[in-house]
Amino acid sequence: MQLAEPQDFERVLSSMCTEPHPAARDAAERFLATNPGDPGTYESVATLEERAVGLLGEVTGHPDPEGYVASGGTEANIQAVRIARNRADTDDPNVVAPTSAHFSFTKAADLLGVELRTAPTTDHRADPAAMSRLVDDDTVCVVAVAGSTEYGYVDPVPALADLAHDAGALCHVDAAWGGFALPFTDHEWHFGHADVDTMTIDPHKMGQAAIPAGGLLVRSRALLDELAIQTPYLESTSQVTLTGTRSGAGVASAVAAMEALWSEGYREQYRASMDNAEWLADRLAARGHAVVEPELPLVAADLSVPMTEELRSRGWRVTKTGAGEMRVVCMPHVTRSMLRSFVADLDWY
């Protein structure tokens, strides 16, 4: 029987994941059979996970971070909402987020019996005034997005953290995708910039680790303890993760990627990706398309649906925003020569 080949990245412009760094690929293979969900048995991967959390703390301005390597941004967001719900004293909890928040918050709300209230964005960013109108005594969490899924835009995190704390709620920042690009920008988004309580930052997106490697970070241990359940028959006595058996490959590859790339490698990658995004934005604008100016390496433009379909039929993997714009994510595997042939195909149309 012929083995299936994984798809190559040559025409992938839609993904928020990328080819793992060679060191990350290597580490993932070596740790395939380990389970950080059982740290009493798999000690070396458990030690690596502490290292992963420490490195994630460096990326996010937290000198003394707590957290763990999750299966992805979805799990990290669900767990952040769970922390906020568990620590609050209300029978009718709600979470306030911008409409740009990832759909994993809808899953979190459904699973956790929390009401999700979303406020419209202004210029693709959260509008603190609109969100404040949705906050009340039962608000347990205010969500800020640092690198939105559709446009790559960054919410005003300090203002949203103030909004959260004035209401006695937690502030969660979803930097699942943007977290490894934002350190090289002027944005205020992390633990050192504002009173952020919890954060999602995924090594398996811009971090160039192998899937699955998401990240949940919290400001203090007490927040993580909100998730603890007893585990009577394991050597460890409690567990804070959502899943039980977990991927040691994800953990090991996250450490390998961050050790190889933090910080100069990520900085160079950010510069190259941002240059590519700006180059593409300029080419699209020159062809008369309305372009959403890239804030991080993601370009959205008003290409017609038939045009996008034609590009797809030529093998280009591009997606559309909810508003119908074509969206290109300039991940590390997206090179200038790829974008040149993409634009050439666009011109043919």
Residues lying near ligand 0PR in the complex (CB under 6 A): 14-17, 72-74, 77, 102, 104, 145, 149, 174, 176-177, 202, 214
Distance CA 58, CA 97 (A): 26
Q: What is the dihedral of CA 117, 123, 126, 132, to 10 degrees?
A: -70
Nearer to ligand 0PR, 149 or 239 (CB): 149
Q: How far is the CB of 12 from ligand 0PR (least distance, A)?
A: 7
Beta bridge partners of 200: 174, 216
Q: How far is the CB of 135 from ligand 0PR (least distance, A)?
A: 21
Nearer to ligand 0PR, 172 or 283 (CB): 172
Q: How far is the CB of 65 from ligand 0PR (least distance, A)?
A: 19
Nearer to ligand 0PR, 97 or 284 (CB): 97
Q: How far is the CB of 218 from ligand 0PR (least distance, A)?
A: 17
Task: Report, in angstroms and rounded to the nearest whole number, the Rg of the chain calculated over CA atoms.
Answer: 20
Residues 108/140, Cβ–Cβ less than 8 Å: no
Q: How far is the CB of 297 from ligand 0PR (least distance, A)?
A: 13
Nearer to ligand 0PR, 74 or 239 (CB): 74
Q: What is the dihedral of CA 228, 205, 21, 254, to 10 degrees?
A: -10
Let me know the angle formed at the C-alpha of 247 by 242 and 252, rounded to the nearest 5 degrees: 120
Q: How far is the CB of 118 from ligand 0PR (least distance, A)?
A: 14
Residues 115/93, Cβ–Cβ less than 8 Å: yes
Nearer to ligand 0PR, 100 or 239 (CB): 100
Nearer to ligand 0PR, 25 or 102 (CB): 102
| CB within 8 Å of 253: residues ≥ 6 apart | 20, 24, 25, 27, 28, 31, 203, 209, 210, 213
